[in-house]
Structure 1
Amino acid sequence: MNTTVYLKIARDVIKAHFEHTVVDKDTLIDTYPELKIQRATFVTLTLNGHLRGCIGSIIAHQSLIDDLVSNAESAAFRDPRFPPLSLNELDSAKIEVSLLTKPELVTYKDAEDLSHIIRPNIDGVILRVGNYQATFLPQVWEELEDFDSFFTHLGLKAGIGNDPLSYHPDIYTYQVEKIKEA
């Protein structure tokens, strides 16, 4: 399957919101049966090179088509960091779809050990301490290039402060296949 179809689906879902229609998932599944497979996705929107919305699933819990539709709608209209996307913005927005692998628990002794395990630009990271959790896709390494900065920001996102590794959190890694509009 040509994965650029995922980009078209995401854009069509957002467009359908403005047109008060829905994407015909059954027809898409008939054409692309692999859309029935359970898969976790993230949909990221950028506008003029800046983040405009990003919502996704860490764990596969529904079909790829349902996850893609839900996350495209949420990234465009329900990301709490941004107002809902406008129709004018949609014309200029770039869409990226990330297909996630299953997260794997990382065994590590301390921050130094973890710094040798985590692979920048390859690994997405889930940090979990009790009820606090946050994730960064591998693409975040493009902006937070060093290990310390990456984990400082991840700890802040999780709500546990700028030294999250002092809690010896559970760390999971995953990889993504990203499909991006030119």
Structure 2
Amino acid sequence: MSSTEQRTLDDSQRETLLEIARDSILNGLREGRPLTVDPRDFDPALQARRASFVTLNRHGQLRGCIGHLQAIQPLVKDVAENAYSAAFADNRFPPLNEHEFTDLDIHISVLSPPEPMYFDSEADLLRQIRPGVDGLILEDGPYRGTFLPSVWEQLPTPELFLAHLKQKAGLPQNYWSDTMKVSRYTTESFGKE
């Protein structure tokens, strides 16, 4: 199924994924591991192999964000594992503790498959980027970084978005190379505050 053919999740499917994310974090607090899910117990749309990111915010501040860029497993399992990892394995933050849980906002982004972009200069690349729509993956040798489309809220121009993505990947903001690869993807995002 191509990214344009993937169906949007309905409200019930979204609610189920948010419950799975919440329950997986609770399971991590109680048992120290992600919630075990059997994809066969869920709606076929949640059994499909799709990539996801789970972002946790607390009092409007990022508290963890982990995900996959490629579809490697059923969506419901991906969300359970990523929610646990965002809470306990994001190395930018200490593991979540119980008193933080009640203030947690959970946000899920389901990704379309990444599509390579073709460009012959930075100006050409910047013209192709769709603000507010595209998530980008930037790669050059060992350097790699991604920004979800939600990052457009903080970095509203293609120039800022790309410069900060280079920095996130470990490169200077003004870096350019003919070997650099960029792919784009879109997300279906939803959350519970």
TM-score by length of 2: 0.88
Selected match of 2:167 from 113, 138, 156: 156
SS at match of 1:25: coil
Mapping for residues 120-159 of structure 1, pairs under 5 Å: 120-159=131-170
Match of 1:25 among 29, 37, 41: 37
Bigger Cα displacement from structure 2, 53-62 vs 30-39: 30-39
User: 1:26-175 maps to which residues of 2 (within 5 A)?
Assistant: 26=38, 29-164=40-175, 166-168=176-178, 169-175=180-186
Question: Residues 64, 125 of structure 1: CA spacing in aligned structure 2 closer, same or farther, 3 A cutoff?
Answer: same
Unaligned runs of 5+ in 1: none
Aligned-pair CA distance for 1:22 = 6.0
Residues in 1 aligned to 2:125 and 2:16: alpha-carbon distance in whole angstroms: 37
Give structure 1 regions of 4+ aligned residues with deviation exceeding 4 angstroms. Answer: none
Matches of 1:114 and 1:23, distance apart in 2: 41
Going from structure 1 to structure 2, the CA distance change for 1:15 and 1:50 (only over 3 Å counts) comes to: same
| Maintained 8 Å contact 1:43/1:98 | yes
SS at match of 1:80: coil
Q: Which runs of 5+ in 2 are unaligned?
A: 1-9
Residues 79-115 of structure 1, C-alpha deviation per residue, up to 9 Å, x if partnerless?
0101111111111010000000000000112111112
More helix by share: 1
CA distance in 1, matches of 2:103, 2:46: 27
For the residues of structure 1 that align with 2:37 and 2:81, how far apart are their CA atoms?
Answer: 12
Q: 1:24: how far off?
A: 5.0
Aligned partner (choices 16, 21, 27) of residue 5 of structure 1? 16
Q: TM-score, normalised by structure 1?
A: 0.93
Residue of structure 1 in register with 2:3 after alignment: none
Shift of 1:29: 3.4
Q: Matched residues in 1 for 2:42 and 2:113: separation?
A: 26
What SS does the corresponding residue of 1:162 show, helix, strand or coil? coil
